[in-house]
Amino acid sequence: MPPYSMSPTGEEFRLPGEEDYSKEFERLKGAVASQRALGREIVLVMGLGFVGAVMAAVVADATDRKGNPTKFVIGMQRPSARSFWKIPLFNRGISPVSSEDPEVPLLIDRCVNEKKTLVATFTYDALKLADVVVVDVQCDYLKEALGNVGDGRADMDALEESLEIIGQHIDAEALVLIETTVAPGTTEQVAYPIIKKMFRRRGIKADPLLAHSFERVMPGKNYVSSIRDFWRVCSGVNEQARERVVKFLNEVIHTEKFPLTVLDRPIESETAKIVENSFRATMLAFLDEWSVFAERNGVDLIKVINAVKVRPTHSNIIFPGPGIGGYCLPKDGGLGLWAYRHIHGFEDDIFKITPLAININDTRALHVAQLTRDALRNMGRPIASAEILVLGASYREDVGDTRYSGSELIVRRLTEMGGELRVHDPYVLHWWEFEKQDEYPASSHGLKRFFRGQERLKDLRIEQDLKKALHGTDAVILAVRHKHYLNLDPEEVVKNVGGPTAVIDCFGILDDEAIRRYFELGCEVKGLGRGHVKRIKDEVRGTKNPSGSQKVKGRRQET
């Protein structure tokens, strides 16, 4: 392990040595003593990742009715070479996570430098000082095969390790609030016994005060708001834990506008999170088969969805892009399946829809590679060695989050088929899933292992200049609905490419006029769920009209 940790901008930080721990604990004890004297509660947030970093700042920003801060927050992050850099940056008031929400850096800076209610540390001894411990470490789900979520397992190592450390250090009266998305049953059947055992070893007779309340945070421009100004569900292992978690959330979240839902048992709160995300994954997966139906039968699924949405009962039907990414939707249902067998001990196979939905979502992007192959073939260009540009690396529009994005699968499959890939994304500077593909998200998690011929992708770099990215491409894949791609002018695109290109629309980005212009300019167009492009092509090329007879070139068809 290197003796330093490097931040994404290349700054190196020496990892703490033995002698640093006692000094750090003394520093914290001093800070906590003066904060207690001000009547503030001490909250420790464990795990300064996407969720924990911002949750820590939201808690540190909490005030009473007179505007006085009520909490002092210690953000705790383990000092690994991979993550230690977050601590010194945080202590300067710099956010360790990049976000499109301008409130994230402002909030962290304000709490660290002005209000002085927020610090970060690496020492587990800090847990001894906490009244409340908020757990925001990861709990992953490892898939062993592409398109088979059932053949996987929950990876609880980081969470179990954290709980053990918590049990070794905390005060018996401290509330432990698990915010991590966990396999239903974890708080009572995994966390409680771990902490209880540690308590027993320490001669503590009291029951651990454990609670669960999941995060509904959404990456994007309302990141802070999605934590602070949003409805929460919570529960505790006993009456006292339930009362404490309700009090805590009432003090840090805007519950007067977004009331809490308090459930009887933690397994209900844990299940609510998994059901919520499985429901959404299922709705998205459901349209995959209709997307293929539309492509094969001259139907524009985008127009169909808009027609259906008019009905208020169906207004949240949404078109699935090239795969359903992000950290949560691809894994959360898997945690449910796994819990049924491995926490609750059932052998039968009750889950049909949830795994099917995740499997469909996990492989939907592969169809984009087929459309690209077919569009190139129609232009007489072999896919092997074709220059292919993917527009958008992230998993959803106008964010820079690339976790499990459909675009990653598109790049991997097309590379396997021999294509030369380039990528443009205005929100993403480094696509770590490729640049560090052997270690990110973790050596055993990456999607690389499901494809052949992936080695050269570690040299893939994100192009920021769209004109440069377009130059000389054989195919352009519109993979994400970033605002930069919604109104691209076909003439400009073809001019920048230097001639006709294949355009693959994965997200209903092109309207019929744009599709028509691309065909008129000699391009080929294909799209997920967009069967009507063939009709427009026939019209433009003058091959036939909708009734099958010869037709005047360029005549407009009503759509």
β-partners of residue 405 are none
Helix, strand, or coil (residue 299): coil
* CB-nearer residue toward ligand NAD: 318 or 442: 442
- State which residue has the least CB distance to ligand NAD: 49
Chain-centroid distance of CA 468 in Å reads 29
* CB-nearer residue toward ligand NAD: 78 or 110: 78
Least distance between ligand NAD and beta carbon 185 (Å): 15
CA distance 75 to 69: 17
Residue 379's identity, in one-letter code, is M
Among 76, 190, 281, 329, binds ligand NAD (CB under 6 A): 76
- The token pair at 329 is 């939707």
Among 99, 181, 359, 372, binds ligand NAD (CB under 6 A): 181
Among 215, 425, 433, 474, binds ligand NAD (CB under 6 A): 215
Least distance between ligand NAD and beta carbon 224 (Å): 13
Binding segment for ligand NAD (CB under 6 A), chosen from 7-15, 215-223, 428-436, 455-463, is 215-223
Identify residues 27-56 at the interface with ligand NAD (CB under 6 A): 46-52
Identify residues 322-341 at the interface with ligand NAD (CB under 6 A): 327-328
* CB-nearer residue toward ligand NAD: 136 or 539: 136
Residues binding ligand NAD: number (CB under 6 A): 26
186 touches ligand NAD by CB under 6 A: no
φ, ψ of residue 253 to 5 degrees: the values are: -110, 150
What is the 3-state secondary structure of 19-63? HHHHHHHHHHHHHHHHHHHCCCEEEEEECCCHHHHHHHHHHHCCE
Which DSSP letter does residue 429 get? S
Residue-wise DSSP of 439-455: TSS-TTT-GGGGSSS-G
Least distance between ligand NAD and beta carbon 96 (Å): 8
* Sign of torsion over alpha carbons 391, 392, 396, 397: negative
* CB-nearer residue toward ligand NAD: 212 or 413: 212
Among 152, 219, 529, 531, binds ligand NAD (CB under 6 A): 219
Identify residues 82-101 at the interface with ligand NAD (CB under 6 A): 83
Residue in the block written with tokens 């899933």: 433
The DSSP bridge pattern shows strands 233-236 and 209-212 to be antiparallel
Least distance between ligand NAD and beta carbon 148 (Å): 21
Binding segment for ligand NAD (CB under 6 A), chosen from 154-162, 254-262, 291-299, 430-438, is 154-162
* Sign of torsion over alpha carbons 249, 252, 254, 256: positive
Burial category of 65 from C-beta neighbours within 10 Å (exposed 0-12, middle 13-18, buried 19 and up):
exposed
Burial category of 138 from C-beta neighbours within 10 Å (exposed 0-12, middle 13-18, buried 19 and up):
buried
Q: How far is CA 488 from CA 7, 479, 483, 509, 518, in A?
A: 35, 13, 10, 10, 11
Contacting residues for 421 by C-beta, under 8 A, at least 6 apart:
388, 389, 390, 411, 414, 415, 457, 460
234 touches ligand NAD by CB under 6 A: no
* CB-nearer residue toward ligand NAD: 43 or 137: 137
Compute how many other C-beta atoms are within 10 angstroms of the C-beta atom of residue 514: 18
Binding segment for ligand NAD (CB under 6 A), chosen from 160-168, 306-314, 346-354, 503-511, is 160-168
Binding segment for ligand NAD (CB under 6 A), chosen from 161-169, 237-245, 371-379, 466-474, is 161-169
139 touches ligand NAD by CB under 6 A: yes
Binding segment for ligand NAD (CB under 6 A), chosen from 29-37, 133-141, 235-243, 447-455, is 133-141
* CB-nearer residue toward ligand NAD: 162 or 359: 162
* CB-nearer residue toward ligand NAD: 277 or 496: 277
Among 59, 73, 111, 217, binds ligand NAD (CB under 6 A): 217
Site of interaction with ligand NAD (CB under 6 A) = 46-52, 76-78, 83, 136-139, 158, 161-162, 165, 180-181, 215, 217, 219, 327-328
